Chain A
């Protein structure tokens, strides 16, 4: 039995949330408790499967899974005709993303059990949430471009639905539409790119494509059509404009997971640059492309964030800014990919920093959005000018917020510092000025969060929030879960780096290895 499960983990990874989603309307009819139990079960199982799969990858190497084949681990037959079957290729990088998605989704779902309890239409909500999870997991697990597109679409549509979930707010619908529209346009571009590639090489499998790519003019067009929408989806400047709107209007639990979904796009971006196009590219050029995107995102994100009055909007801009760090780290890695010495000396550290930051960001930013949601849950407002004095009544939320804020600001000993440290101490070798910028942005982030902290939690008690209390248990647990991860990854970063990040970095650099895995070479 257990080997059976282990063998089919990749399938379960998708099946579990999908199943949970599809049965949601049915279960929902059975009453509140059953529904809650179902949601919890679904989330817990998904997370378990995800973590097991990741464990498998980290211990035994990349996992390949072909749906519908007699032997799901069977590889493609030589250079046979194009593969029609859905194929999952889970290497260390994918595994890292799966860990992120699993942890966040568990914490977030728990949190939402209380947070959204007062809303109507919960069946749809949870169905969509599970679909979103499915989409994200699929995106990071698939080894096939077309599947990637399909999962991207799933996550986009579910995301759009969730952004618009609070229909009573007109803005929400608008934001949802915006999100859907942009995602669709983006996805369309991806689809066209896939079409271009397929037409030329008759393959959709990433590995297959990678091994065949000629870098024709059309390939270049496809590259642009892939990179631009993905950069947009991950919220990098100058295509970040959709983030504030959608992040703000979506329920906080959704926002927290939208962060993960953005990071899945980031994953896609890296996959395409490193693995699909890989050696064909001028590394320096594309490295600098990522670096410039990164620095711009960092700086513009934070300067836009500081004057915001809406907590979640502010946090959304910070998400843009933090994405910049990931782009910077990985970009530096890409830029020196061709220079083995430099790669070993600092390139890999930079990439590790970037990837570790993806992990950390998902945790602390998720946590921050959840605390913002908690405050909204008790006060009904996100307006910083109206909030105040909540520290007297919501001490735990305040502590969780502090943890998240210190982490995002890169203050030791929280996890943000651990990943930023890797970035600073490697990027400076590439260009010292970049390191200085990164450091300064970090302190600006701190300033911004100190202000938010003060506006929300400090000051005299306010009459209008006299009734505010600490959040209910499930929300507390959801936040605590993330807070613990944030603390742990900050206090003892070594194990995380050694066991999660470094394999992922190696996987990302090792294009040949990826191809070989799939072709069973």
Chain B
């Protein structure tokens, strides 16, 4: 059928910043396409570069927690856990075990909500809105639970250096168990809708493949890596928080399908399996949670004083829904604010995998492939075929010049306002 498609002359240059009514961090794709096929893919992130690390060097450690939380609104707890773990190691603060468990519980609830959110977005990218609505309808349950436990649906503000700020009390357990029951059922339904549907399979099987070898070299993390058969999961590899006491398994697609293909479908499989895994983990954590205090240093003012005296460097990590997040922190004595703070978000590690995934696929696959690593893209720049009529391939230098000019022009007009 290829021959009678109405083809565009080959080699025209397209920029896609998917204008999604759906989510996430703006990213722009630069593509060479022939007809509907992608010859070469490149991307330009940084649309939402807010200079968070730089801001962090101007705030004290407690303020940085909330800044870290707002690196990403999907995992409201990931970055704060990572950051405080680094600080705790530097200041040698021993966190109460109960606090570790609470951190892990919230972390797993977050994984459930994030994976459901992702499933919905992926379905929406496929034009499968009923599945999107279904996933998000189910997700509201965990959102309610999280709000009930933390007081906010997104940025939980649960984490404090040296522990957690709010308890999960015995009275709250039944409500949690009720949700877990709900998700047991919901999982079956979601798995059927997402894994058995013919059209989903048509769109996702063997689309956007990342092989094991590519994955090893490009170092993606989380479900993106695991769907390609890379067994990597901070919760398993690296004993921390409540997870240190559990025996957790790597979730790879072969557990369900018996094979690893590394395609979009496998990424769906991995995430669904992880939802199920998270339900079990929450139950285990609740069961094993010891009593005890919540904070090593209950008074924030005292904590600030102690941190002022701490010095050294450390790395804090957490397995976010999208994979490993890691914060490198360096403190110096006598300073309220960190002297160095490097954030590595999960998508940061996963971006590069887009290139092998996209090349050779079709324009129509861009949204689902882009979404399959669960980045945070939401692009509002619309496809702009570059310049007069779409047939010129611009060189990189030209493109750069053009964009500089354009940005300047617009900014001039902005400042003139």
Which residues from chain A sit less than 8 Å from chain B, CB to CB? 303, 306-307, 309, 384-385, 388-389, 444, 447-448, 450-451, 459-460, 462-463
Contacts and interface: CB of A to CB of B under 8 A. Distances in A.
A307 B3 contact: yes
A451 B6 contact: yes
A462 B9 contact: no
Contact of A307 (B7, B388, B389): B7
26 contacts: A303-B3, A303-B4, A306-B3, A306-B4, A306-B6, A306-B7, A307-B3, A309-B9, A385-B9, A385-B391, A388-B391, A389-B388, A444-B4, A447-B4, A448-B6, A450-B6, A451-B6, A451-B7, A459-B388, A459-B389, A459-B390, A460-B388, A460-B389, A462-B388, A462-B389, A463-B388
A122 to B, nearest CB: 36
A459 B6 CA distance: 17
Given A389-B389, A447-B4, 19 more contacts: A303-B4, A306-B3, A306-B4, A306-B7, A307-B7, A384-B9, A385-B9, A385-B391, A388-B389, A388-B391, A444-B4, A447-B6, A451-B6, A451-B7, A459-B388, A459-B389, A460-B388, A462-B388, A462-B389
Contacts of A463: 388
B198 to A, nearest CB: 26
A306 B35 CA distance: 13
Nearest to B10: A385
Contacts of A462: 388-389
Contacts, number: 32
Q: How large is the interface on B (under 10, 10 to 19, 20 to 34, 35 or more residues)?
A: under 10
Contacts of A447: 4, 6
A451 B390 CA distance: 14
Nearest to A309: B9
Nearest to A383: B9
A448 B4 CA distance: 9
Which of A444, A459, A463 has most chain B Cβ within 10 Å? Answer: A459
Main secondary structure of the interface of A (DSSP, over half): loop
B333 to A, nearest CB: 63
B188 to A, nearest CB: 45
Contacts of B389: 388-389, 459-460, 462
A448 B5 CA distance: 9
A384 B391 CA distance: 11
A459 B388 CA distance: 8
Contacts of B391: 385, 388
Contacts of B7: 306-307, 451
Contacts of B388: 388-389, 459-460, 462-463
Nearest to B388: A460
Nearest to B12: A385
A451 B9 CA distance: 11
A159 B390 CA distance: 39
Interface string B1-19: 0011011010000000000
Contacts of A303: 3-4
Nearest to B9: A385
Contacts of A450: 6
A11 B388 CA distance: 57
A303 B6 CA distance: 11
Contacts of B3: 303, 306-307
A289 to B, nearest CB: 27
Nearest to A388: B389
A73 B3 CA distance: 56
Contacts of B4: 303, 306, 444, 447
A460 B389 CA distance: 6
B259 to A, nearest CB: 38
A384 B390 CA distance: 13
A170 to B, nearest CB: 25
A233 to B, nearest CB: 28
A462 B389 CA distance: 8
Nearest to B7: A307
A463 B288 CA distance: 74
Q: Which 5 A-B pairs have the closest CB atoms?
A: A459-B389, A385-B9, A388-B389, A451-B6, A460-B388
B249 to A, nearest CB: 53
A303 B3 CA distance: 7
Contacts of A460: 388-389
Contacts of A448: 6
A389 B388 CA distance: 9
Nearest to B391: A385
A389 B389 CA distance: 8
A106 B16 CA distance: 51
Interface in B1-59: 3-4, 6-7, 9
Nearest to A440: B4
A290 to B, nearest CB: 25
Contacts of A309: 9
A450 to B, nearest CB: 7
B84 to A, nearest CB: 54
A287 B390 CA distance: 48
A1 B7 CA distance: 61
A448 B390 CA distance: 19
Interface in B377-417: 388-391
A239 B180 CA distance: 73
A95 to B, nearest CB: 39
Interface in B180-222: none
A462 to B, nearest CB: 6
Contacts of B390: 459
A389 B390 CA distance: 12
A303 B1 CA distance: 11
A460 B4 CA distance: 26
Nearest to B11: A385
B385 to A, nearest CB: 10
Contacts of A388: 388-389, 391
A388 B9 CA distance: 13
A384 B6 CA distance: 13
Contacts of B9: 309, 384-385
Contacts of B6: 306, 447-448, 450-451
Contacts of A389: 388-389
A389 B9 CA distance: 16
A88 to B, nearest CB: 45
Nearest to B387: A460
B180 to A, nearest CB: 55
A322 B165 CA distance: 79
Interface string B341-368: 0000000000000000000000000000
Nearest to B3: A303
A385 B7 CA distance: 12
B353 to A, nearest CB: 34
B4 to A, nearest CB: 6
A454 to B, nearest CB: 9
B343 to A, nearest CB: 43
B260 to A, nearest CB: 39
Contacts of A307: 3, 7
B154 to A, nearest CB: 43
A122 B3 CA distance: 42
Interface in B309-363: none
